[in-house]
Amino acid sequence: DRAALLRLTPLLGTRAVRAGFWRRHERLLTTEDEPFAAYAALLLADRVACLPHPAYEDRRLRPESLPPLTPAERYALVDRYEALLGLTAGRPAVHGVLYDLMIRDCLHTFARAGMPDDVAREFFHRASVTARRHRPDGHRQPAGLEGMRRSLLEEGAYGKYRALRSA
Tell me what pLDDT residue 154 has: 93
Residue 44's Cβ-count burial label (10 Å; 0-12, 13-18, 19+) is: middle
Segment holding 137, helix H or strand E: none
Residue 156 near residue 125, CB atoms below 8 Å: yes
pTM as predicted? 0.79
Tens-digit pLDDT string for the chain (167 aa): 678 888 877 877 767 788 899 899 998 888 888 888 888 988 898 888 777 877 777 777 776 677 778 889 999 999 999 999 999 989 999 999 999 999 999 999 888 878 899 999 999 999 999 999 999 999 888 899 899 999 999 999 999 998 888 87
- Phi, psi for residue 131 in degrees, rounded to 5: -60, -45
> In the prediction, which pLDDT does 153 show?
93
Of the chain, the end-to-end C-alpha distance in Å amounts to: 41
Can you give the pLDDT at residue 1?
64
Q: In this structure, is the dihedral angle defined by the CA atoms of residues 66, 71, 73 and 76, taken in order, positive or negative?
A: positive
Per-residue confidence (pLDDT) for residue 15, from 0 to 100: 72
**Beta-carbon-side half-sphere exposure of residue 81 (alpha carbons within 13 Å):** 28
How confident is the model at residue 63, as a pLDDT? 66
Note the pLDDT of residue 148.
92
Sign of dihedral through CA atoms 134, 136, 137, 143? negative
